[in-house]
Amino acid sequence: MNRKLLISMLGSMLIAASAGAQSKLNVMTTTEDLAAIAREVGGDRITVEAIARGYQDPHFVEAKPSFILKLQKADLLIVVGRELEIGWLPPLVQQSRNGKIQPGAEGYLDASLGAQILEIPTGQITRAMGDVHPLGNPHYWMDPENGKRIGKEIADAFDRQRPGNKAYFDQRLNDFTTRLDAAEKKWLAMMAPYKGTKVVTYHRSFPNFAERFGLEIVGYVEPRPGIPPTPQHTLDLITEMKRQNVKVMLIEPYFDLKTPTAIGRETGARVLVMPPSVGGVKETSDYFSLFDYNINLLVDALKK
Amino acid sequence: MSHRFCYAAFVLVVLSAATASAQAAPQPPDAQALRSAIDDLKKDFEARLSALETRLAAIEGGQQAAAAQPLPAPPPPPPSPAGEPPSAATFSAPQGSANAPDGAASKVFNPDMAVIGDFLGTAGRVHTDPANNITPAPAFEMHESEASFQAVVDPYARADFFLSFGEEGVNLEEGFVTLTSLPGGLLTKVGKMRAAFGKVNSLHNHVLPWADRPLVIKNLVGGEDGISDAGVSVAKLIPNSWLFLEATGQVFRGDSGSPESPLYQTSQRGQLSYVAHLRGYQDLSESTNLDLGASWSRGYNATGLPQDIDNLTTRLIGFDATVRWKPLRRSIYHSFVGRSEVIWSSREQPDGLQSGMGYYVSGDYQFARRWFAGIRFDGSDRAYDSSLHDSGGSAILTYWPSEFSQVRGQYRRTAYAIGPAANEFLFQFQFSIGAHGAHPF
């Protein structure tokens, strides 16, 4: 009698465990930003992990075999797309032995498809322009409006993968969108007095952010995307910054500060290390704090 | 008509007024509303203008493509010839949507194509001894032009082709299909490929950290071509909770090696060659990792064929270790890769068994975003006579103007078993066009 009870208890526990394991969607993302949004939408019904850390240059990630092991078990792979990951993701996905996450398969989601993409080149492009992205600027998550669009894409993918949890994911997406709307209003209000402020950035990481929050990017520390600063370009930039009275430079955390600091000394512009990604600095632990941190950083600098 | 003209004139006047006022000093607040209305109008006007310009450019592009065709016969308008460089219209196709122009639609399935040029210059004196495999490289040489074609075949497979053009002649360096989603976690390749023996054998010339291949590869593992043959490769991950562990088994026809450094040669259909490789990888920290491998290979050699002996074999055993360091926060500026391989060769010859050994140890340090300094020590017995031992050392400096080109200088000193030591300077210039390839790891 006791034994029967024990067996049935064990059996039901096993079933419960396997059902639980089955319902938890295993999500891999290429960046921490996508992981943060997936976490907002997926809640406790998913596990999610990012390949690249927020403080590393997402163009240059090493294709470590340890990532293959993680991709092998993934149900869903969410990528930034627009060729951001072209230098490192294809070999990882190929070696993952996971048919679900191959490009074009059900478990492969390009988060850029619903987003507003800037700087899509028109006309002939060549590599004389540097490492240009022919499909447009891939740093599109730096606009909360795109954050909502990415959230929607991710929720749709979750729904397809786990139709049983559709109501849960949709409710969480709603909640995320509502909170993001409120936060965006607050951020826009904070930035409103500084509309039209001219800035210089290192790489083209902030066009969406600048457009949303009314900054005007007038130059780059890099002469061309992916090409490190040259003395001539730096001199030209200093002249231009003086002419246009640029007082703020936004530098991604993974770039060397030597040239930006020198330019700042010459022009009187403040050098702000501004993370373009969740996890870029320790204060930016989720999608909301990414904007909170950056906007506070900017407002503090512009107030002075 | 005259109404429209009036409207256009009005817009122009308003626009010029707006730009003039924009240059002027701050405005009274009641002008703000008017100004924003004008700004909207201006934006709308600019958007329409740029849309028209894009359409015009597309039409003109089409006409140019048509004009470029040599035959006077009237060319069919939109579908442009395949292989033409991507036109403006291809890239301005919005947001990856399906409504790309007709000409682009046929190109969508073209494979990713790239060509990598490898120019090699060599200076310095070297004692010529063709009988002992010492043939000096020419002063200048377009060493290799590698064309790659890569694409997904269908939901189950992808294909990769690498054609290696010398100054004369073409060689299929690799051409294989990879089955990406077989059950049981098997990664299977079918075709001609560089074998998974150690590290260097599987690398193409353009991703090597040196301008040449180490002596041990030249003497024992088939030289520049290495173990590269037609066959089947199956790789499986061995699940465990400690590290990445991958076992690879490969079966080849049995022909490998370069003309100056032959390795395997088959004289019957059944004389296959085999490669087995076990790779273990572990992240030691976020920035440091260790990659270890053990390899085994066996195939038939041709040394007995002149005497009608066709069952002589060569066996190779190798161990490789790679340690990599790359701090993530400064990953584009600093890194270090240390690597080493040790390889033993047992070669049956009509005059008896020759058992030789060779190795290399190298380190490459990236000290700035575009600069790498490296050093290498290598030494190896010769496969056909293990009493002959060559050894060498190199210092390498590499500069990357961009991700797509590379300039390298290498000083190499080689003490050959016979004859005086050679001091050479190698100069390598590599450049790549076409699709953006993956960075090697």
**Alpha-helix runs per DSSP H in A192-257:** 207-213, 231-244
What lies within 8 Å, CB to CB, of B386 at 6+ separation is B354, B355, B356, B357
Read off φ and ψ for residue A154, nearest 5 degrees.
Answer: -65, -45
Contact: B436, A135; criterion CB under 8 Å? no
Band (B25; pLDDT cuts 50, 70, 90): very low
Contact: B286, A53; criterion CB under 8 Å? yes
Buried/exposed code over B70-93 (b: 16+ C-beta within 10 A; e: otherwise): eeeeebeeeebeeeeeebbbbbbb
Q: How far is B160 from chain A (nearest CA, A)?
A: 12
Confidence at residue B316, expressed as pLDDT on a 0 to 100 scale: 98
**Chain A residues touching residue B328 (CB < 8 angstroms):** 53, 55-56, 254
Disruptive mutation site among A49, A55, A92, A97 for chain B (greatest number of B CBs within 10 Å) = A97
Structure tokens given for B144: 């290799």
Q: How far is B157 from chain A (nearest CA, A)?
A: 9
**Chain A residues touching residue B181 (CB < 8 angstroms):** 97-99, 102
Tell me how far apart the alpha carbons of residues B372 and B384 are, in angstroms, rounded to a whole number.
36
**Chain A residues touching residue B369 (CB < 8 angstroms):** 228, 256
**Chain A residues touching residue B92 (CB < 8 angstroms):** 120-123
- Nearest chain B Cα to A81, which residue? B96
Confidence at residue B133, expressed as pLDDT on a 0 to 100 scale: 64
Q: How far is B34 from chain A (nearest CA, A)?
A: 18
Say whether pLDDT at A6 is over 80.
no
Digit-coded pLDDT (tens) for A266-280: 999 999 999 999 999
**DSSP state, residue B76:** P
User: Least CB-CB distance to A120: which of B91, B155, B326?
Assistant: B91
Alpha carbon B205 to its chain's center = 8
> Which residue matches tokens 């998974």?
B196
Contact: A122, B289; criterion CB under 8 Å? no
- Nearest chain A Cα to B335, which residue? A62
Radius of gyration of chain B (CA): 30
**Chain B residues touching residue A255 (CB < 8 angstroms):** 332
Neighbour count for residue B55 (Cβ, 10 Å): 11
Contact: A123, B439; criterion CB under 8 Å? no
User: Least CB-CB distance to A97: which of B54, B155, B237?
Assistant: B237
Contact: A87, B439; criterion CB under 8 Å? yes
Whether the Cβ atoms of residue A70 and residue A98 lie closer than 8 Å to each other: no
Say whether pLDDT at B94 is over 50.
no
Confidence at residue B80, expressed as pLDDT on a 0 to 100 scale: 37
Digit-coded pLDDT (tens) for A214-263: 999 999 999 999 899 999 999 999 999 999 999 999 999 999 999 999 99
Structure tokens given for B91: 């890239």
Q: Any idea where the domains of chain A sit in the sequence?
A: 2-185, 189-303
Tell me how far apart the alpha carbons of residues A19 and B260 are, in angstroms, rounded to a whole number.
62
Buried/exposed code over A9-44 (b: 16+ C-beta within 10 A; e: otherwise): eeeeeeeeeeeeeeebbbbbbbbbbbbbbbbbbbbe
Whether the Cβ atoms of residue B324 and residue B303 lie closer than 8 Å to each other: no
Tell me how far apart the alpha carbons of residues A286 and A32 are, in angstroms, rounded to a whole number.
8
Neighbour count for residue B265 (Cβ, 10 Å): 19
Task: Please give the CATH superfamily to which domain A2-185 belongs.
Answer: Nitrogenase molybdenum iron protein domain (3.40.50.1980)
User: Given strand A270-273, what is the order of strands in its sheet?
Assistant: A215-220, A197-201, A248-251, A270-273
Alpha carbon B87 to its chain's center = 26
Angle in degrees, CA B105, B152, A116, rounded to 5: 55
Determine which helix (DSSP H) or strand (DSSP E) holds B433, and give its type and residue range: strand B422-434
Confidence at residue B116, expressed as pLDDT on a 0 to 100 scale: 96
Neighbour count for residue A199 (Cβ, 10 Å): 24
Band (B79; pLDDT cuts 50, 70, 90): very low
Domains located in chain B, CATH noted? 2-20+34-95 (no CATH), 114-434 (2.40.160.10)
Nearest to A274 by CA among A247, A246, A255, A302: A255
Disruptive mutation site among B181, B333, B405 for chain A (greatest number of A CBs within 10 Å) = B181
Disruptive mutation site among B49, B188, B237 for chain A (greatest number of A CBs within 10 Å) = B237
**Chain B residues touching residue A63 (CB < 8 angstroms):** 438-439, 441
pLDDT average, residue stretch B64-74: 39
* Start-to-end Cα distance in chain B: 66
Q: How far is A280 from chain B (nearest CA, A)?
A: 9
Tell me how far apart the alpha carbons of residues A4 and B334 are, in angstroms, rounded to a whole number.
64
Q: For residues A129, B207, A139 and A126, what is the CA-based torsion angle, rounded to 10 degrees?
A: 20
Band (A16; pLDDT cuts 50, 70, 90): very low
**Chain A residues touching residue B87 (CB < 8 angstroms):** 124
Domains A2-185 and A189-303 share a fold: yes
User: Least CB-CB distance to A91: which of B91, B329, B438?
Assistant: B438
Contact: A60, B439; criterion CB under 8 Å? yes
Contact: B433, A127; criterion CB under 8 Å? yes
Contact: A134, B91; criterion CB under 8 Å? yes
Contact: A91, B441; criterion CB under 8 Å? yes
SS3 A213: helix
- Nearest chain B Cα to A104, which residue? B155
Tell me how far apart the alpha carbons of residues A167 and A171 are, in angstroms, rounded to a whole number.
6
B50 or A77, higher pLDDT: A77
Confidence at residue A72, expressed as pLDDT on a 0 to 100 scale: 94
Contact: B370, A228; criterion CB under 8 Å? yes
Say whether pLDDT at B89 is over 80.
no
Tell me how far apart the alpha carbons of residues A6 and A110 are, in angstroms, rounded to a whole number.
48
Read off φ and ψ for residue A258, nearest 5 degrees.
Answer: -60, -55
User: Least CB-CB distance to A254: which of B244, B330, B404?
Assistant: B330
Confidence at residue A221, expressed as pLDDT on a 0 to 100 scale: 97
- Nearest chain A Cα to B434, which residue? A127
**DSSP state, residue A87:** T
Interface size A-B, in CB pairs within 8 Å, comes to 129
User: Least CB-CB distance to A227: which of B88, B92, B402?
Assistant: B402
Say whether pLDDT at A12 is over 70.
no
Amino acid at A251: I
| Strand pairing report for B228-237 and B244-252 | antiparallel
Whether the Cβ atoms of residue A290 and residue A278 lie closer than 8 Å to each other: yes
Q: How far is B2 from chain A (nearest CA, A)?
A: 35
In Å, how far are A31, A194, B241, B332 from A59, measured between CA atoms? Answer: 11, 31, 30, 10
Tell me how far apart the alpha carbons of residues B245 and B253 are, in angstroms, rounded to a whole number.
27
**Chain A residues touching residue B94 (CB < 8 angstroms):** 120
Contact: B281, A65; criterion CB under 8 Å? yes
Using a pLDDT cut of 70, give the percent of chain B over it: 75
- Nearest chain A Cα to B432, which residue? A127
Q: How far is A1 from chain B (nearest CA, A)?
A: 39
Tell me how far apart the alpha carbons of residues A154 and A82 are, in angstroms, rounded to a whole number.
17
Where is average pLDDT lowest: A169-178, B15-24, B297-306? Answer: B15-24
Band (B51; pLDDT cuts 50, 70, 90): low
Digit-coded pLDDT (tens) for B271-324: 999 999 999 999 999 999 999 999 999 999 999 999 999 999 999 999 999 999
Band (A125; pLDDT cuts 50, 70, 90): confident
Contact: A94, B402; criterion CB under 8 Å? no
User: What is the full DSSP assignment across B107-173?
Assistant: TTTSPEEEEEEEEEEEES----BGGGTB-PPPSEEEEEEEEEEEEEEETTEEEEEEEEE-SS-EEEE
Confidence at residue B2, expressed as pLDDT on a 0 to 100 scale: 44
User: Least CB-CB distance to B329: which of A72, A99, A254?
Assistant: A254
- Nearest chain B Cα to A99, which residue? B181
Confidence at residue B15, expressed as pLDDT on a 0 to 100 scale: 43
Whether the Cβ atoms of residue B355 and residue B313 lie closer than 8 Å to each other: no
In Å, how far are A80, A234, A241, A243, B381 from A198, measured between CA atoms? Answer: 28, 17, 9, 11, 66
Class of domain A189-303: alpha beta
Confidence at residue A130, expressed as pLDDT on a 0 to 100 scale: 86
Disruptive mutation site among B97, B176, B180, B277 for chain A (greatest number of A CBs within 10 Å) = B180
Contact: B332, A57; criterion CB under 8 Å? yes
User: What is the full DSSP assignment across B309-333?
Assistant: ----EEEEEEEEEEEEE--GGGTTT
A237 or A12, higher pLDDT: A237
Where is average pLDDT lowest: A23-27, A192-196, B435-439? Answer: B435-439
In Å, how far are A188, B205, B333, B433 from B226, measured between CA atoms? Answer: 61, 11, 33, 26
A71 or B107, higher pLDDT: A71
What lies within 8 Å, CB to CB, of A196 at 6+ separation is A214, A215, A216
Contact: B187, A95; criterion CB under 8 Å? yes
Whether the Cβ atoms of residue A66 and residue B237 lie closer than 8 Å to each other: no
State the number of CA atoms in the 13 A half-sphere of B128 facing the CB: 4
Say whether pLDDT at B31 is over 80.
no
Contact: A121, B92; criterion CB under 8 Å? yes
pLDDT average, residue stretch B25-49: 59
Say whether pLDDT at A172 is over 50.
yes
Average pLDDT, chain A: 93
Q: How far is A227 from chain B (nearest CA, A)?
A: 6
Tell me how far apart the alpha carbons of residues A122 and A140 are, in angstroms, rounded to a whole number.
18
